[in-house]
Amino acid sequence: MYTFKSKVRFSETGKDSKLTIPHLISYFQDCSTFHGNEAGLDREKLIKMDRAWFLSSWQIVINSRPKIDEEIEVETRAYEIKGFYGLRNFIMYNEAKEVCAYANSIWFYVDTKKGKPVKYEQEEGTGFEIDEEFPMEKADRKIVIPENAEKIIKAEGLKVKESHLDSNYHMNNREYVRIALDFMPESFEINDLRQIRVEYKKAAVLDEIMVPVYYFDTENKKIFVSLENEAGENFAKVEFEFR
């Protein structure tokens, strides 16, 4: 388990003075990076080993979003490692120590030279302790868009820019959600957002074109977003579920 404390900054908030969804995701990502560093698995060591952890899926449940200047605490738990998969929870607490958001995530361990998943071995120098799993109702890793959902292409293709990339030279995991949110319908109310699921399929790289395609399932209060290239191949699927 790893935790760190912070304070919600002005630059992390939106027009409602609350932490934005992309910045919430950034806190979770940063927490796992800090945990890896503390456990002896920092980025430089991974590079030397030709190894990396890549994110396969998110399930993020939002109870509330902390306000500007609010003290928060972020926690992560690596609760299971099997084969090349690693399962990790995240929790964000507000000043009152209430859970304002929590998540389940599935990662896979990759041999970056071969470009293939590889079994994780503890003797490779990592010190991850297996923690108690956070109690939550887990959704499936894969996102299935209902056949009867209304399909709308909301935007022309977007070119992947330098500002979208992380140190793996891929689009940062957070950016897929940011782009999906950017073209949501005007009737969308961020405070009604209860859960976000993301299934990552293909890493987007510099200068690739990404087309957001939206599917509306009003009966189940869900909006699905398929982020695709110009050939219709899927980079990621995002599911927004509302209260």
Shared domain check, 154 and 76? no
- Establish if 10 belongs to a structural domain: yes
Domain boundary pick from 124, 158, 178 = 124
Residue 143 has pLDDT above 90, yes or no: yes
Residues 92 and 170 in one domain: no
Residue 128 has pLDDT above 80, yes or no: no
Same domain flag for 112 and 173: no
pLDDT at site 58: 97
Are 110 and 188 in the same domain? no
Specify if 137 maps to a domain.
Answer: no
What's the pLDDT band for 44 if we cut at 50, 70, 90?
confident
The CATH number linked to 156 is 3.10.129.10
On the question of pLDDT at 76 being above 70, the answer is yes
Structural domain contains residue 24 = yes
State which residues form the domain around 238: 150-242
Query: Is 59 found in the same domain as 155?
Result: no
**CA nearest to 107, candidates 184, 52, 67:** 52
Total count of domains within the chain: 2
120 & 10 share domain:
yes
Of 234 and 38, the structure prediction assigns the larger pLDDT to 234
Say if residue 115 is in the same domain as residue 201.
Answer: no
Counting residues of the chain whose pLDDT is more than 70, the rounded percentage is 97
**pLDDT higher than threshold 80 for residue 122:** no
Our measurement of the distance from residue 155's CA atom to the centroid of its chain's CA atoms, rounded to an integer in Å, reads: 22
> Given this model, what pLDDT does residue 33 score?
93
Q: Is residue 95 part of a domain?
A: yes
Together in a domain, 7 and 118 = yes
**Within a domain: residue 113?**
yes
Residue 144 lies in a domain: no
Asked, for residue 133, whether it belongs to a domain, the answer is no
Q: Does the pLDDT value for residue 239 go beyond 70?
A: yes
Question: pLDDT tens, 183-221?
Answer: 887 778 899 999 999 999 999 999 999 999 999 999 999
Note whether 31 and 101 are same-domain residues.
Answer: yes
In a domain, 136, yes or no: no
Q: Does residue 228 surpass a pLDDT of 60?
A: yes
CA distance 89 to 32: 9
